Amino acid sequence: MPTLDSLTFDNRYARLPPAFYRRLEPTPLTAPYLVSVCNDAAALLDLDAAEIRSERFLNLLAGNLVPHGAEPLAMNYAGHQFGTFVPQLGDGRAILLGEIINSKRERWTLQLKGAGETPFSRRADGRAVLRSTIREYLCSEAMHALGIPTTRALGIAGADETVYRETPETAAVLLRLAPSHVRFGSFEVFYARREHEYLRQLADHVIEEYFPQHAGMPDAYEKFLTEVTERTARLIAQWQAVGFCHGVMNTDNMSILGLTLDYGPFGFMEAFNPGHICNHSDDQGRYAYENQPYIGLWNCSRLAQALTPLIDAEKCNTALAKYEGAYLEAHASQMRAKLGLAQAMDGDDTLAADLLALLAEHGTDFTVFFRALATFDTTPGDSNNLLRDMMVNRPAFDAWAARYAARLASESSVNENRRARMNRVNPKYVLRNHLAQVAIEQAEKHRDFSEIDRLLQLLQRPFDEQPEHEAYAAPPPDWARGIEVSCSS
């Protein structure tokens, strides 16, 4: 198994012109300590268990060791933040170490988040805090286990250095992995500057590396935009299906590969409310749960605008027109699976929409209800009281349940088989904010990281019953209802 010294770097992004980045070294942490490491993510780099428990690996996580062959840099980009264009952003607290080719010939970029000031920090300190790194670490791996495209999280290093946010906090660095960290905003910066040759070079680089099936084709840029648009639509359909709210869907937080990128004030839906706003900083509700599909298209249109020097406007509009169909198809498929429907039939979308309206009317816990829906019994009687008890208006639920039973009967659904299918798509465990908060408080107050590791193991098996962890599947306790997350999260 490779050690850190034998990792194979192939830093193709660093071969692009200097306008795309600024080279710099990470700022070391003083006296770092290991918070947590993810074995599954380490396996993507072919690193064995002994190596990821070594002092050298800790120093890699902390930014104190730059592996041989790495070429650290901060990426340059712009972005629309809450709808307003900001012409200069860039990696203000992230440093791309380099690009690894593993034994499967997969490409993984290693990025340190919180590794110190960069030329793009805009007078900030470039550090991350333990609180936010724990949240991103756990949610990255939780989303992967849910089957949702995402960046991955390799590990966290902490230190007793003080970082000032709303209150003094302790510093930490997260090492995350992705095939690419290129964003929509990576294209916007060159469009805004009218540096069209750089725009073309970036598009060619991304197509050659990640969309090679389109490379060299006369309509390569249009096909690239179309695929990014469709990937984004399908990603957000998956978010909606598990009740995931991103919180800050700025274009600089949108992955060109359709990955969930930059976990900040995220949240999983609890009491179902389509207008739920998970980000306390989002005063206007721009990124509310129900708005996410529309914002996804809006963001794709900003990418399309940035590509107009390479694609004419009509072809951009043709590519963008693919979004709605891709989203609706993916969302319909997700909802049929959540309802245990094996076939697509007319009226399925209405059945699903009416159920969501019932959940909203009653403020029913999204994850708990859909997991419990697998217990639905098509035979008459009191077998569905568990579900009825989640509703205040039981007659309204009974009317929906009769329609649901008839729909299941129309495809001769077998309860036992349907339940098994539903339990493979409706998670029992998601990263609720109060679960993360308990782990954060233990880490901050007592330097006890056991709850982080416990949650990591739990969330890597979100569809399993895990009876020893039943309490982790419950709705939030009363004390947790006041938890707020914001852009500093």
109's tokens: 């970029």
Residue 353: pLDDT band with limits 50, 70, 90: very high
83's tokens: 């709808």
Q: d(Cα 66, Cα 115) in Å, to the nearest integer?
A: 12
Going by C-beta distance under 8 Å and a sequence separation of 6 or more, which residues neighbour residue 135? 263, 266, 431, 436, 440, 485, 489
What pLDDT score was predicted for residue 168? 95
Residue 1: pLDDT band with limits 50, 70, 90: low
| Average pLDDT, integer, range 375-382 | 82
Residue 481: pLDDT band with limits 50, 70, 90: confident
pLDDT at 6 > cutoff 90: no
The residue type found at 298 is W
What pLDDT score was predicted for residue 489? 60
Q: How far apart are the first and last CA of the chain?
A: 36
| Average pLDDT, integer, range 219-230 | 98
Model-wide pTM > 0.95: yes
pLDDT at 159 > cutoff 80: yes
Residues with catalytic roles: 252
For residue 162, the SS3 value is strand
Looking at the chain, the whole-number percentage of residues with pLDDT higher than 70 is 99
Query: What does the pLDDT look like over 59-78, one tens digit per residue?
Result: 999 999 999 999 999 999 99
User: How far, CA to CA in Å, does 106 sit from each of 100, 167, 172, 206, 210?
Assistant: 8, 41, 28, 15, 11
| Average pLDDT, integer, range 162-188 | 96
What pLDDT score was predicted for residue 37? 98
What pLDDT score was predicted for residue 476? 94
352's tokens: 């699903």
For the chain, domain boundaries: 4-180, 343-412
Average of per-residue pLDDT values in the chain: 96
Are 63 and 116 in contact by the 8 Å Cβ rule? The answer is yes
User: Among residues 339, 402, 344, 416, which one has the least CA distance to residue 370?
Assistant: 339
397's tokens: 């639920």
What pLDDT score was predicted for residue 483? 83
pLDDT: which is higher, 86 or 382: 86
User: Among residues 365, 124, 156, which one has the least CA distance to residue 268?
Assistant: 365
Q: d(Cα 282, Cα 487) in Å, to the nearest integer?
A: 9
